[in-house]
Structure 1
Amino acid sequence: MVTALDDDGISTILVVTAHPDDVDFGAAGTVATFTDRGVRVVYCVVTDGDAGGFDRETDNGGMAALRRDEQTEAAKRVGVHELHFLGYRDGTVEPTLPLRRDITRVIRQVRPDRVLTSTPERNYARVGPSHPDHRAVGGATLDAVYPDARNPYAFPELLTEEGLEAWTVREVWLTGGMANNHYVDVTAVVDRKIAALRAHVSQTGHMDTLEEFVKGWLATNAATAGLPEGSYAEGFQVVPTA
């Protein structure tokens, strides 16, 4: 199992996801453990999730506004109060140069020690994490971390027009993949993870067994990590960037 950077040396973390609720399914418990220690956590959500939800009486514009509000509330429940919404269309994201530039901009603004994002790899064990938007955002974020954000010659307008100096992210944590090599014990904060997920009413309001579903896979992660019975854990693939 890979050794992640010592959390005592981490002061700022940026989470980059495709949709509202992605962070809450994948990492809200871990985020709560960070914020409880006083770490600054910032969310960057690439789309507004306008193609999601089950109430199709709400048009795409109304759904986008609703889902931004839901993500903002969910973030508060795990101690996050800084959010960037990039406004891309849900379901159409590709790992383009403009997307890399937009994520690079946020990295240079936030200047995080660690970035959390989705894996760009397809998960053949569980199809859910392999949404095309997830994979596109994961790939674009990794490219923004290396080489774009640290290279002062990449997207020079970010420096010359916006004054955003180059920044080196020290570590990336990937969610949703098949190669987890690091686990975070979220037993003490699992109820806050569930609360964050319930804030996404348009996505989870119909799920009567949400808590059992989430705790089931978290318990499996905990067993894989060798934690005591009754524990819950979130899993990540840690990628050093040095």
Structure 2
Amino acid sequence: MLAENEVNRVLVVTAHPDDADFGAAGTVALMVDRGVEVTYLLVTDGDAGGNERTQDNAGMAELRRSEQTAAAKAVGVTDVRFLGYSDGSVVPSLELRRDIARVIRQVRPDLVITHHPDRNYQFIAPSHPDHRAVGGAALDAVYPDARNPYAFPELLRDEGLTEWTVREVWLNGGSTPNHWVDITDALDRKVAALLSHVSQVSHREGFEAFVRDRFLQNGATAGLPTGRAAEPFQIVSTA
């Protein structure tokens, strides 16, 4: 596992607006506190993410982009990028691998945080098909695509983007975490980020209490003292 002083740039790759906030906003807030540069890359605009069809897909996408920008600001992230894929139909295609590899070469992160590509049979919510597709494509973009100077030669030829090796990947949403981050000091900011997604959470009664309880339970699972909250990850070395 990379030491804290070895992580200077982080790229968080997710399928939809709010995914980063459910999975890693507390960890991100603590990283930003340490001076780490964090970039969010969202594969879709969340255009199919509403609960009532009060506007068309384009309107929902615009709303959710603005909500994600506000949520990112709540934890100190200002670099938020969208690839514009269609919500609900993402597959781990060569095109998606190239688009993620492009951003890896642009940002040149030490660490990538993304979805676990496997279905979680203990807790189904993180296993949305888009999540699994993005997680798989992001892992493929990390290895071998972004580090291979012969992969997607147009990135070098047309955009001057040289190869880059990501040293570690943290997966969220899986059933086999092997690392927990104590986010107690950032829990309020995580909650604030999640509450920014008004279109997704405003209808859920007791949502804030649910979030706090869930991550306090994670803290107990991690063996932290009572009253501490945690976010779980599975660490993958790319060495």
Bin for the TM-score computed over the shorter chain: over 0.9
In structure 1, distance between residues paired with 2:67 and 2:59: 12
Q: Which moved more, 1:210-219 or 1:165-174?
A: 210-219
Moved more, 181-190 or 215-224: 215-224
From 18, 21, 27, the counterpart of 2:18: 21
Q: How many aligned positions are there?
A: 239
Q: Counterparts in 2 of 1:157-196, with a 5 A limit?
A: 157-196=154-193
- CA deviations over 1:138-184 (Å, ceiling 9, x no partner): 00000000000000000000001000000000000000000100000
1:119 to 101, 116, 120: 116
Aligned to 1:129: 126
Of the structure 1 ranges 120-129 and 216-225, higher mean CA displacement relative to structure 2 is found in: 216-225
Superposed CA RMSD? 0.6
Matched, 1:91 2:88: yes
**Is contact 1:181-1:236 (8 Å) kept?**
yes
Task: Measure, in 2, the Cα distance between the counterparts of 1:229 and 1:91.
Answer: 39
2:34 is equivalent to residue 37 of structure 1: yes
- Shift in Å at residue 55 of structure 1? 3.3
Q: 1:137: Cα distance to partner?
A: 0.0
Q: Give the fraction of aligned pairs with identical amino acids, expressed as a percent.
A: 66
Q: Which stretches of structure 1, 4 residues or longer, exceed 3 Å deviation after superposition?
A: none
1:52-63 alignment runs, 5 A limit: 52-63=49-60
2:205 corresponds to 1:208: yes
Q: Which residue of 1 aligns with 2:105?
A: 108
Q: Which of 211, 216, 219 is the equivalent residue of 2:216? A: 219
Q: Are the aligned partners of 1:55 and 1:202 in contact in 2 as well (CA < 8 Å)?
A: no
- In the alignment, the residues of structure 1 paired with residue 52 and residue 194 of structure 2 have an alpha-carbon distance, to the nearest angstrom, of 17
Other structure's SS at 1:169 match = coil
Give the secondary structure class of the aligned counterpart of 1:161: helix
Q: Which moved more, 1:22-31 or 1:210-219?
A: 210-219
- Cα deviation for residue 216 of structure 1 reads 1.8
C-alpha offsets along residues 93-128 of structure 1, whole Å, 9 cap, x if unaligned?
000000000000000000000000000000001110
Question: Separation in 1 of the partners of 2:144 and 2:105?
Answer: 13
Shift of 1:208: 2.3
Unaligned stretches of 5+ residues in structure 2: none
CA distance, structure 1, for counterparts of residue 211 and residue 236 of structure 2: 25
Cα separation, 2, equivalents of 1:11 and 1:112: 7
1:65 to 37, 62, 65: 62
